[in-house]
Amino acid sequence: MAQYWLLAIVGGVVSTVIYVLAGHGAFGGMLLAYFAPLPVFAVGLGLGAAAGTISSLVAAVIMLTVGGVVAASVYVLMNAIPVIILLRQAMLSRTNEQGDQDWYPSGHLIVAASTIAAVIFTIGAFWFETASTGLEDTVRTFVANLVQQMAPNIPDDQMEPMVQMVSQILPGFIGASWLIMIVINGTLAQSALVRFGKNLRPSPSLISMEFPQWFLILTAIAAAMAAILPAALGFFGQNLMIILIAPFFFMGLAVVHAVCRKRPSSTVLLVTFYAFLTIFGWPAIFVVLLGLIEQWAGFRRRFA
């Protein structure tokens, strides 16, 4: 029991250290903050959701003591609450008719993470709209100041289109990148636990991943909002759509793995694919489109 509490507390402390170091620009700057949930995920997936909750609370208390109310609030909203919810869902299981244990589906976990990101974005958008300046104007001002700092000599006729393009998708891009990093953190924690035989649930299969149909409908509604509604509502719908489309990146990866699985050189093909994806980046758009089409086409069933 003492070891249980010790590991839970250490997980929270390590998470806080990573987050604080990121805030001070050490070890890769703000990118390091994306890995703050990793220790909490490792504790929760190895000891249970309750232990993960303890780690999150410990980290929140430390952040409140060290960084104040604002820093603690950001940590709780972006890390503690989402991880607690996802760990609770990940630890759900039931016994089927054959006596085997069915765990909460991995696809539903990704959808849950995307839904959390969408809710956080909606709360933020509502808060900015009730303030003196709306969300779109706030994002535009932030991007303009950032571009001015990074490229002070850029002509105005070039800066304006750049600011317009980036500001239109920045909130959605941040939400999508947060979602992807949450999934990566959970995957890394699970992989480490499996390697040492400390995992509570088995690692889910990417190829067999499924999304609930209601999530596709919700994504279509966000796309319709982006296409039809004007001004602030259209801006909101556009960025909400980006957040909700992000999970289909993983569905696209599932199709790629299904295609490569039965090939003689499947490992080489996958390594080449991920290297190409990491180096160039833009193929991720086609992976997302492949994931969206998979919902109707069922490529994985055909290759199976």
Q: Does residue 97 form part of some domain?
A: no
Q: Does residue 52 form part of some domain?
A: yes
| Strand stretches in 183-267, DSSP E | none
The CA distance from 17 to 38, in Å, is 12
Which tens digits make up the pLDDT trace of 225-274?
A: 988 888 888 899 999 999 999 999 999 888 888 888 777 777 888 888 88
Q: Does residue 157 form part of some domain?
A: no
Q: Does residue 42 form part of some domain?
A: yes
User: What rounded mean pLDDT belongs to the chain?
Assistant: 86
Length of the chain: 304
Domain span at residue 77 reads: 1-92
Phi/psi for 95 (5° steps) reads -90, 125
Q: Does residue 82 form part of some domain?
A: yes
Q: Does residue 247 form part of some domain?
A: no
Res. 286: pLDDT tops 60: yes
Res. 100: pLDDT tops 80: no
Q: Does residue 121 form part of some domain?
A: no
**By the 8 A CB rule, do 259 and 133 touch?**
no
CA proximity to 78, closest of 185, 170, 218, 166: 185
The CA distance from 12 to 66, in Å, is 14
pLDDT value, residue 162: 81
Which tens digits make up the pLDDT trace of 187-231?
A: 999 999 999 999 999 988 888 888 988 998 999 999 999 888 888
**By the 8 A CB rule, do 40 and 52 touch?**
yes
The domain total for the chain is 1
Which tens digits make up the pLDDT trace of 36-95?
A: 899 999 999 999 999 999 999 999 999 999 888 988 898 998 899 999 999 999 999 888
Residue 70 token pair: 């604002």
Which tens digits make up the pLDDT trace of 120-141?
A: 999 888 888 787 677 888 888 8
Q: Does residue 175 form part of some domain?
A: no
pLDDT value, residue 165: 84
Mean pLDDT throughout 173-185? 92
DSSP H/E element including 93? strand 93-95
Residue whose structure tokens are 């909490």: 40
